[in-house]
Amino acid sequence: MNRKIPATMATQHPDNAKEAYFLGKKYINTLDEIEECYRMFDELKCTEYMWDWEGKFVDEAVVEKLFQKYYKFFQKHSLGKDVFLTFRIPNTDEESGYRLARAFMAILTADDLAHELGMHAPPVFEVILPMTKNARQLLNVKKTFHEVENFKRQAFNTHRKDEHEFHVIPLFEGCKHLCNVDTVLSEYIEGCKSQFGKKPQYMRPFMARSDPALNSGIIPAVLSSKVALQKFAEVEKKYKVPMYPIIGPGCLPFRGGVNPDTIKDTIEEYSGIRTITIQSAFRYDYPIEDVKKAIKYIEKTLPTLKYTPLSKGEIEDILWVNKTFGDYYKHTVEMAANLINKISAKVPGRRERMLHIGLFGYSRGVGKVSLPRAIKFTGAFYSIGVPPEFIGSGRGLRDAIKNGKIKTIEKHYNNLRKDFIHAGKYLNKENLTHLAKKYPAFKEIQQDVEEIEKYLGVELSPLKTKHFLHRNVVSSIYLLSEEKPDNIDELIETAAGIRKSLG
């Protein structure tokens, strides 16, 4: 294979608490994202940028504007060869297809533009399919793209006579889907051979990190990613198709724990990954020099790390963990949903997202309730001083010890202890006590905290001045949320700034 695999993918995830350093504001609108993309390449040295068409407004002329505004940069750093722009497209099983058609035409016309300007072509040749559940979805995307390509060639008599290089990246978003990636990938490879006459040159399967935690809790989310890595390796060996996995973590432990302060630990946690997302909080909530150093470290170190194989028994243990921990987590979250939805409505937006209609829309559902997206969900729990890392985890660890599963958890979740202690710095036990008296869900979380403290042998509490300041702010948020909920917006932003992530 003769292409570069980027180690860092800057994304548009709206989790930054502070201003974008180049804008001087927290809210990044669609027009700002062109400049953001360029600066991520030129200044931060990220090698890939995700252009997100899923559930948000998007500038369709992105490649044209990049070439027009930053022509000299892209003459020296070829788009599609040295740095990469990757579209996250809508899943037509979840969203109407007209936006997908626009994305495909943007890719095809960008190819024409690159040829006209004497740039590397094609500049865009990969798309990410969110919520991938089966190979049919992937094959349909590839088939539809080539149908649009053929129509464009015939209708507009364009220069290109051969097929556009085009790859589909499956994004797996639940623990169940992560543990069954081998089925989807195998069927996709076989489908490519039968429908297109050849298997993929390579694949970049993408593991979500926030949504598995949102759906099942933190420990199942971490361990399911390890199962997926094992299965990627098995598919690679069977079909001789190289696998270059991607993972999408945020800064707080619940969403992955990857940030400039923790990178040396977290990069080891995700050994075997070839690309890590660098989300907005990572880029804007930490000192710029620390951000640059962390990105440089990832680019150098990530390709050298190998995944840790799992035995058949360890995979069975992880499936047990997913069921046991997940059941505790879902029961508690369902009961807490009304309060969390109320608080999350006050967590500020940072990008121009579209409104959605339906039971879940592009929110995420757990059990019979609808929830906010992962960033606002995490931000809501942290804003009342109850980090979601604890939900279901304490009761699950208690059961894992009783059932002889704890060794598998400890072996394959390297940062288990560090993640709980980090989350514990933002725990407000006074709030939790008050909440537990009013809401059964928080009584269960109180039990989780007690079991985790018992397991760790330490008390979870603030440790430094900033943690105590955070505790004081979230005390105010909780009290006002009960009496004057319209007055908590600024306090939510203040607390987010202290912990260096909105959610």
Q: At 127, phi and psi to the nearest 5?
A: -130, 150
Is 326 strand, coil or helix?
Answer: helix
Across the range 114-127, mean pLDDT stands at 95
Question: How many domains does the chain divide into?
Answer: 2
Q: Tell me if 249 is assigned to some domain.
A: yes
- The string of pLDDT tens digits covering residues 38-48 is 999 999 999 99
Q: Tell me if 60 is assigned to some domain.
A: yes
What is the structure's pLDDT at 156? 80
pTM of the predicted model as reported, rounded to 2 decimal places? 0.95
Which burial class, exposed, middle or buried, applies to 96 when counting CB atoms under 10 A from its CB (0-12, 13-18, 19+)?
A: exposed
Q: Tell me if 254 is assigned to some domain.
A: yes
CA–CA gap between residue 421 and residue 387 (Å, rounded): 11
Q: Tell me if 1 is assigned to some domain.
A: no
Report the percentage of the chain scoring pLDDT > 90: 86
Across the range 111-139, mean pLDDT stands at 95
Inter-CA distances, 113 with 105, 108, 141, 247, Å: 12, 9, 23, 31
Q: Are residues 266 and 381 in the same domain?
A: no
Last residue of a domain, one of 277, 304, 331: 304
Q: Are residues 286 and 408 in the same domain?
A: no
Last residue of a domain, one of 304, 330, 356: 304
With a cut of 50, say whether residue 429 has pLDDT above it.
yes
Across the range 125-151, mean pLDDT stands at 95
Q: Are residues 256 and 348 in the same domain?
A: no
Query: Token pair for residue 311?
Result: 């035995």
- Helix axes of 374-383 and 312-344: crossing angle, nearest 10 degrees: 70
Element housing 55 (H / E): none
Query: Token pair for residue 171?
Result: 């994004």
Compute CA 255 distance to the chain's CA centroid, rounded to the nearest angstrom. 7
With a cut of 70, say whether residue 371 has pLDDT above it.
yes
Across the range 433-450, mean pLDDT stands at 98
With a cut of 90, say whether residue 155 has pLDDT above it.
no
CA–CA gap between residue 449 and residue 453 (Å, rounded): 6
For residue 222, the one-letter residue type is: V
Q: Tell me if 349 is assigned to some domain.
A: yes
Q: Tell me if 46 is assigned to some domain.
A: yes
Query: Token pair for residue 232?
Result: 């990627």
Across the range 288-302, mean pLDDT stands at 98
What is the structure's pLDDT at 161? 60
With a cut of 90, say whether residue 216 has pLDDT above it.
yes
**Domain of residue 96, CATH code:** 3.20.20.60
Q: Tell me if 3 is assigned to some domain.
A: no
Domain hosting residue 41, numbered range:
8-304
Contact 109, 61 (CB under 8 A): no
Query: Token pair for residue 189?
Result: 């490879």
Element housing 372 (H / E): none
With a cut of 60, say whether residue 344 has pLDDT above it.
yes
With a cut of 50, say whether residue 244 has pLDDT above it.
yes
CA–CA gap between residue 261 and residue 258 (Å, rounded): 8
3-state secondary structure 69-137: HCHHHHHHCCECCCEEEEEECCCCCCCCCHHHHHHHHHHHHHHHHHHHHCCCCCCCCEEEECCCCCHHH
CA–CA gap between residue 216 and residue 176 (Å, rounded): 10
What is the structure's pLDDT at 363? 47
- Helix axes of 218-239 and 181-196: crossing angle, nearest 10 degrees: 40
Q: Are residues 238 and 96 in the same domain?
A: yes
User: How open is the CA angle 290-294-295, to the nearest 5 degrees?
Assistant: 120
- The string of pLDDT tens digits covering residues 15-26 is 999 999 999 999
With a cut of 50, say whether residue 310 has pLDDT above it.
yes
Q: Are residues 347 and 248 in the same domain?
A: no
Q: Tell me if 2 is assigned to some domain.
A: no
pLDDT, mean over the chain: 93
Lowest mean pLDDT among 52-61, 175-184, 255-264: 52-61
What contacts 24+ positions apart, CB below 8 Å, involve 306-314? Answer: 306/271, 306/272, 307/226, 307/229, 307/230, 307/233, 307/271, 307/272, 308/226, 308/271, 308/272, 308/411, 308/412, 309/230, 309/233, 310/226, 310/227, 310/230, 310/412, 313/408, 314/408, 314/411, 314/412
With a cut of 80, say whether residue 305 has pLDDT above it.
yes
Across the range 446-474, mean pLDDT stands at 98
Lowest mean pLDDT among 161-170, 199-208, 374-383: 161-170
Q: Are residues 45 and 187 in the same domain?
A: yes
Last residue of a domain, one of 304, 322, 344: 304
Which burial class, exposed, middle or buried, applies to 279 when counting CB atoms under 10 A from its CB (0-12, 13-18, 19+)?
A: buried
Q: Are residues 278 and 327 in the same domain?
A: no
Report the percentage of the chain scoring pLDDT > 70: 94
Q: Are residues 460 and 427 in the same domain?
A: yes
Q: Are residues 285 and 335 in the same domain?
A: no
Q: Are residues 292 and 331 in the same domain?
A: no
What is the structure's pLDDT at 160? 61
Q: Are residues 67 and 159 in the same domain?
A: yes
With a cut of 50, say whether residue 338 has pLDDT above it.
yes
Cβ atoms within 10 Å, residue 319:
17
With a cut of 90, say whether residue 165 has pLDDT above it.
no
Query: Token pair for residue 173?
Result: 């978003």
CA–CA gap between residue 121 and residue 165 (Å, rounded): 10
What is the structure's pLDDT at 152? 81
What is the structure's pLDDT at 352? 79
Lowest mean pLDDT among 196-210, 289-303, 364-378, 403-417: 364-378
Q: Are residues 93 and 175 in the same domain?
A: yes
What is the structure's pLDDT at 105? 93
Place of tokens 């699950």: 396
